[in-house]
Amino acid sequence: MYTVLCISCHPDDMEVYCAGTLLKCKARGDRVVVCHLSSGNKGHVIIPPDELSVMRAEEAAQSAFLGGIDEVIWGGFDDLEIFDNNKAARDKVVEIIKRVDPDFIITHPPEDYMPDHVATSKLVFDAAFAATLPNYHVSTAGHAKMVPIYYVDPPAGVGFDPTEYVDITPYIDKKLEMLNCHASQIVWMREHDNVDFPLMVKTFARYRGYQCGADYAEGFKQCHVYLKGTTKRYLP
């Protein structure tokens, strides 16, 4: 029905914030493309970056296979090397958007908690407009259409009031199975942040479910700016 492009920062971000929604998109027949802008190479206490980037790519591939994701794209950045005021970085995202030509985009919110997430959000906002201009030239030819952007919850929903909810009750177990593929990050979160990552994600999905009358839900906020509004319900 639709082509959905999820542009996340790190390889496990999709599973944390919107895997249930993407699984539901797949179930209704959508083409689902996931882009990880960063390799996630600094997300461990012990494993060195070169080894970790390979490990995280393997974890992401396993998760994508479980979820039936149609395509996984890598942005080619490393952790803490994504900057929104960088033309090369913007053009990379423009190329991705033009090639995928999505009907809607899911990404991080502007008010997220870490610089890579915030930079990703701004890059997507800028690139989603630039990609529609026929005379803005990058290596990918043509131009994309103007599409809605939906922002995911930041971790634990801090400072975020959703305007849209997606009931993911039938998909919560698969979402957690996909998340558990990222074993390196489950260890990292426990050692770096003292957080049981799968439990936190399940608990928060339950909390969002309470807010909208579902057992489990994911929350989103649509980017409300000129030309990005729509009368259609794109989220499943």
* SS3 state at 166: strand
Q: Is residue 228 part of a domain?
A: no
Q: What are phi and psi of 72, to 5 degrees?
A: -115, 130
- Look at residue 57 in the predicted model and tell me its pLDDT: 94
What gap in Å lies between CA 206 and CA 34, rounded to an integer? Answer: 24
Residues in the chain: 236
- Structure confidence by residue, pLDDT tens digits, 130-170: 999 999 889 888 899 999 999 999 988 999 999 999 999 99
**In degrees to the nearest 10, what's the CA dihedral of 79, 81, 82, 83?**
150
* SS3 state at 218: strand
Q: Is residue 234 part of a domain?
A: no
- Look at residue 185 in the predicted model and tell me its pLDDT: 87
Can you read off the two tokens belonging to residue 70?
Answer: 């149609």
Q: Is residue 189 part of a domain?
A: yes
What percent of the chain is modeled with pLDDT above 90? 83
- Look at residue 193 in the predicted model and tell me its pLDDT: 81
Identity (one letter) of the amino acid at 64? A
- For 58, the domain range is 3-222
Average pLDDT along the chain = 94
What percent of the chain is modeled with pLDDT above 70? 100
What gap in Å lies between CA 116 and CA 78, rounded to an integer? Answer: 10
Q: Is residue 157 part of a domain?
A: yes
66 close to 109: Cβ distance less than 8 angstroms: no
Using the 8-state DSSP alphabet, how is residue 28 labeled?
T
- Look at residue 47 in the predicted model and tell me its pLDDT: 80
Identity (one letter) of the amino acid at 67? G
Q: DSSP string spanning 104-139? A: EEEE--TT-SSHHHHHHHHHHHHHHHHTT-TTS--S
**Number of domains comprising the chain:** 1
Q: Is residue 229 part of a domain?
A: no
What gap in Å lies between CA 120 and CA 147, rounded to an integer? Answer: 17
Q: Is residue 227 part of a domain?
A: no
Q: Is residue 232 part of a domain?
A: no
- Region 85-101: mean pLDDT is 95
Say what the pTM is.
0.95
- Structure confidence by residue, pLDDT tens digits, 159-202: 999 999 999 999 999 999 999 999 998 988 888 788 898 999 99
Q: Is residue 114 part of a domain?
A: yes
What gap in Å lies between CA 131 and CA 139, rounded to an integer? Answer: 12
Can you read off the two tokens belonging to residue 29?
Answer: 């027949």
Domain of 178: which CATH number? 3.40.50.10320
- Structure confidence by residue, pLDDT tens digits, 16-58: 999 999 999 999 999 999 999 999 888 777 788 898 899 999 9
pLDDT band at 68 (very low <50, low <70, confident <90, very high): very high
Which of the two residues, 126 and 46, has the higher pLDDT score?
126
